[in-house]
């Protein structure tokens, strides 16, 4: 079959790889209908050392079950399913607590002999615990929005939930990428009173307004903090959803957080140390967030997607074929695309 392999920074190719086969009785094989390129993939695209063997890439997909192992129940060939960006057994104590990303039997797509999502098919470990059936036909117009449950919409939801977003709460979202826009949508869904989006790309912030942002601040750093503080009477906001992962974004997040507020970071950290000293301590600001256990949220978010109350798939602004995946990486790296949908 054909699959996307990264051989180093800026070197993405679509090559022939072995067809996936069942290895464990708990496995399934899924034919991919839709996958995506993520901002996390771009971190590797920008910095991966050269590797002759290459790395399978991609962690967001939905597709059709083609085969299941002997110990898999509840799934049959022909089912349309979505997979979270990490697989998990959904039975261990961590999964029971909603922390599927800490599952001892779980892992990441593309590592340890597991297929990446940007290909024609995927072997799915822990299939019964990982895959969620979708009650729509394979040609449904909802597929882009359903795909966001694998990562970006559920990650934005994680940011909002861990920050305590709800009615009468004011929210700042830092970052106008797909996760940041999803966080705006998630905050709106949870009833936030005011949502300020900090971003400077007009096409993206316009979508953020459509998703529920009540204000946009284009300035960054200290200037952005000053603008937000002025807009909130000097107080800041109850919740800050940091969806970038840079040190500057984290510093901004603490700068705009209200005393007693919460900063939830879901952007993959690109720093080793952060500003968590006396100022944060003195103002009783909580730091939370982390890698999103998206499997824990899929069933909760699914009805709103199916019934059209939210349309997170609007973050996809370009659709490409599998063979065009290298072009999709270039487009996202050059910021000519917000988020790329891959259709094998």
The per-residue pLDDT string of the chain (344 residues; one tens digit each, 9 = 90 and over) reads 999 999 999 999 999 999 999 999 999 999 999 999 999 999 999 999 999 999 999 999 999 999 999 999 999 999 999 999 999 999 999 999 999 999 999 999 999 999 999 999 999 999 999 999 999 999 999 999 999 999 999 999 999 999 999 999 999 999 999 999 999 999 999 999 999 999 999 999 999 999 999 999 999 999 999 999 999 999 999 999 999 999 999 999 999 999 999 999 999 999 999 999 999 999 999 999 999 999 999 999 999 999 999 999 999 999 999 999 999 999 999 999 999 999 99
- The two counts, helices (H) then strands (E), for the chain are 12, 18
Q: Which residue has the tokens 């601040």?
A: 217
Residues in the chain: 344
- C-alpha of 99 from chain center: 16
Q: Cα separation of 320 and 275, whole Å?
A: 40
- What pLDDT is recorded for position 326? 98
> What are residue 133's DSSP bridge partners?
81
- What pLDDT is recorded for position 180? 98
- What pLDDT is recorded for position 67? 98
């Amino acid at each position: 079959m054909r699959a996307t392999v990264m051989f180093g920074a800026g070197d993405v190719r679509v090559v022939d790889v072995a067809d996936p086969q069942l290895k464990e009785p708990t496995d399934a094989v899924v034919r991919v209908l839709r996958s995506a390129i993520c901002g996390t993939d771009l971190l590797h695209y920008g910095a991966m050392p050269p590797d002759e063997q290459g790395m399978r890439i991609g962690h967001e997909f939905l597709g059709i079950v083609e085969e299941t192992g002997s110990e898999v129940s509840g799934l049959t060939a022909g089912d349309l399913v979505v997979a979270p960006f990490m697989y998990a057994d959904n039975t261990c104590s961590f999964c029971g607590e909603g922390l599927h990303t800490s599952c001892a039997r779980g892992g990441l797509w593309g590592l340890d002999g597991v297929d990446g999502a940007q290909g024609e098919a995927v072997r799915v470990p822990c299939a019964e615990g990982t895959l969620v059936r979708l009650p729509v036909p394979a040609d449904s117009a909802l597929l882009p929005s359903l795909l966001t449950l694998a990562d970006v919409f559920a990650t934005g939801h994680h940011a909002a939930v861990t920050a305590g977003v709800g009615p009468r709460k004011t929210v700042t979202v830092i970052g106008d990428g797909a996760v940041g826009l999803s966080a705006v949508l998630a905050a709106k869904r949870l009833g936030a009173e005011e949502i300020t989006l900090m971003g400077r790309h007009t096409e993206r912030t316009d979508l953020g307004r459509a998703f529920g942002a009540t204000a946009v601040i284009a300035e960054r750093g200290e200037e952005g903090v000053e603008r937000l503080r002025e807009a909130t009477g000097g107080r800041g906001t109850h919740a800050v959803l940091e969806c970038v992962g840079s040190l500057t974004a984290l510093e901004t997040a603490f700068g705009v957080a209200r005393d007693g507020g919460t900063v939830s970071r879901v952007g993959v950290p690109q720093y080793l140390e952060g500003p968590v000293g006396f100022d944060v301590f003195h103002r009783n600001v909580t730091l939370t967030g982390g890698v999103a256990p998206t499997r824990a949220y899929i069933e909760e978010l699914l009805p709103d997607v199916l019934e059209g109350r939210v349309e997170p798939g609007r973050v996809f602004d370009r659709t490409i074929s599998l063979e065009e995946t290298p072009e999709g990486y270039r487009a996202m790296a050059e910021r000519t695309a917000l988020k790329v949908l891959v259709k094998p």
